[in-house]
A and B are shown apart, each in its own frame.
Chain A
Amino acid sequence: MADEIKLNDADRFNLMLALTGLLVDGEEYTVEELVEHFKVPKKEIVKAVKMISYTDLMKSNQDGSYEVDYDDLREGFVSIRYTFSKAIDEVPRLSSRQASALAAGLVYLSSLPGLVDNSEIEELQKILASDDSTEKKKTVLIETVTRDSDLVAIREAMASGFSITCDYLNLRGETTLNRELEPLRIDSQGEVVYLRAWCPVNNDVRSFRLDRMRNAKPTANPISEAALGAELVDEIYTSSETDTVVTLEVDPEAYSLIYDFKPVEEPESVNKTVKRFKIHVGDVRNLGRVIARFGGAARVISPEIARQSVRDFALNALGERSSTTPKDAE
């Protein structure tokens, strides 16, 4: 995992500062420990340690300021010793941009009710603000409103490793009562909170929007091995081979669709503002609501059946034609 992370110059410099800050008190770490601690690839740790040891304070002093034992490093151990003076002898403080990015992340966490303790968030906000040497202004505000009763029950079940039952309204407007789900993860995406859960009926991981869920209750059934072994990908919508490939065009007002549906490939620019991309759609009959809400800022280009589905949705809403969605729609 860590090996996929790519660092640029600024990241490397930042890592050198952090490594020095950690190592200056003389404690010895293994390279593996540092890889685990900083979540960066091994070669970056080794390189950074070497670069630190090459530091000269002034040209007149031929010794480095930090000394690294290279025999140890080859065997996977890292420790740093001063040779004469202290240049960096403490943990570096955050830049105001770093502090405000973290502060904004905390604001988002605290906007999700019931997930984290807000008094702890406030305490951290104070710490981040006090670390900043420059004048500090709030530059990001996030407001999200979610009902929390279901969240609390789900978190309880997750903590004790049990499944839940709930009532769920699917995208076609049908409610299933007492549906059993094995909760795996709470994903919040912007203002929408999803439960990623193993569905024993479908034998698969599915995403459930919390705003379509009611009466979540923990059960006495432990979460199954199958659920625990299931792979959780980051995308909320996963595609299958039977999906229809649909081409969309969007104005900036509807760019959010690019993020809601993972496009098959990078979107292409039609002109300065319009982007075109392809998505996988399980059931084109669900497209109407997704596209029509934008009132023209999102358009289906192909296939015709998807265009027709969107047109029917809009005409139906205008009361001009009854929906042609077949009665046997699942």
Chain B
Amino acid sequence: MASKDPDDFALGKPERLFNLTCTLLYASEGLTKKQILQTVRGYDDEYKHGGDNSTLERKFERDKESLREIGIRIETEIPKHEDENNQVSTYRIKREGFSWPKNVKLTPKQLALLNLAAEAWAGGSLSTDASRGITKLRALGVVGQSSDIIGISPKIHTFEPSFKDIDFAIAESQVIQFDYRIPKTGEIQTRTLQPWLMRQIAGAWLVLGFDEMREAPRNFMLRRIVSKVRTVTEGRELRLFSAPEQSVIDAAVLELDEHARSQEAVLKITPGSEAWFRYELDLNPSRKDDSLRLNYHDLFVLAEQLREYADQIEVIEPKELAVLVQEGFRKVADLHG
């Protein structure tokens, strides 16, 4: 009990990671794995001199991964005159990669906005990363303050269970596979995707990526994924991809927008009805025409929106949409009969 503080505590993972970080920052020349395992608290007690330390080595590998997730990169260097012998590889953390740029300051208002951005994820898929990011930014010593955003409580919806896995796969460039329900036929297909980005349009999340089956960029709506998102392995390794240039991704994003602009529905709406109000036809009091032209990116999502207004909306074009709306109602009536 002769420690610096009478309170006992066990040396857990956070402490081990912290010790490792400090040591590798301090040792600017780098340390070999052996030196690390022998000297860093959290490993040293378990180190067997002249024995098998493979368990400990695996622990070190996992810790490296944990550090990377928090934003700390361990650099590995192999001395020039050596082959790839990891007994002599040295590990270190470069200071410039570790620290928040010195010349970048945040104002109280900016921190308040970032707080709000983090809160928007509360309970959502990215809340852990967002709140850890805020914790780090608070280390700048600034207190978030802005009267402009008092009384605003934004929440990003991510109700799709696949969101988190896809987000992770994008960040790690992992190829994924999932079962997808084709809305038109109800058929379920297994698709393999190199995911690039996620996008929310009118409340629905899409993932855009390179579809290996179609050999082209494709969008998938997360709510139509009817399985867990799986990673793909190659031998014993996870299959990774290299993401294309931003310009390729931007072009694929634009393509969907253009597709939406080229698709038009013509609707007839009962004047004065709720739908009339919803589509803001009331905002122009001189309006006599009861038809509305609407662009859409997904026929099935539009059909859902229109069904809310039951008989207040008549679909003139396209015929396919009219059929879809009606079939949906028929199915609902049958299922509740």
Show the binding face of A for B, using Cβ within 8 Å: 9-22, 37-38, 40, 47, 50-60, 64-65, 70, 85-88, 90-106, 108-109, 112, 115-117, 120-121, 123-124, 127, 130-131, 133, 137-145, 147, 155, 158-159, 169, 173, 175, 183-192, 211-212, 214, 234, 251-256, 258-259, 272-273, 288-289, 291-296, 299-300, 307-308, 310-311, 313-320
Contact = CB atoms under 8 A, between A and B. Distances in A.
A20 B98 CA distance: 13
Of listed B118, B160, B310, B327, residue having the most chain A CB within 10 A: B310
Interface string B143-187: 100011101111111011100000100110000000001000000
Given A18-B139, A105-B116, A308-B336, A190 B197 contact: no
Contacts of B120: 105, 108-109
Count class of interface residues, chain B: 35 or more
B69 interface: yes
Given A94-B133, A139-B170, A108 B156 contact: yes
B200 interface: yes
Given A50-B9, A59-B44, A112-B154, 15 more contacts: A10-B66, A13-B66, A51-B15, A55-B41, A70-B5, A93-B97, A94-B137, A95-B68, A95-B132, A116-B113, A140-B200, A159-B147, A214-B283, A259-B159, A318-B333
Of listed A288, A295, A319, residue having the most chain B CB within 10 A: A295
B304 A294 contact: yes
B70 A95 contact: yes
B223 A256 contact: yes
B26 A17 contact: no
Given A116-B149, A186-B151, A295-B307, A58 B23 contact: yes
B135 interface: yes
A310 B154 contact: no
Interface string B87-129: 0000000010111111010100110011011111100001111
Nearest to A90: B99
Given A55-B22, A127-B106, A252-B160, A22 B138 contact: yes
A10 B310 contact: no
Nearest to B279: A211
Contacts of B335: 296, 299
A10 B69 contact: yes
A108 to B, nearest CB: 5
Contacts of A191: 157, 200, 202-203
B141 interface: yes
Interface of B is mostly: helix
Given A101-B130, A295-B327, A109 B198 contact: no
Of listed B102, B121, B161, B307, residue having the most chain A CB within 10 A: B307
B72 interface: yes
Interface stretch (B51-59, B231-239, B270-278): B270-278
Contacts of B199: 140-143
15 contacts: A9-B13, A37-B143, A51-B18, A70-B5, A87-B25, A88-B22, A93-B97, A98-B130, A106-B113, A109-B116, A141-B253, A145-B202, A292-B308, A295-B304, A317-B329
Nearest to A138: B197
Given A13-B13, A133-B73, A191-B202, A99 B133 contact: yes
B225 A311 contact: no
A26 B106 CA distance: 20
A140 B139 contact: no
B271 to A, nearest CB: 13
Contacts of A96: 71, 171
A87 B274 contact: no
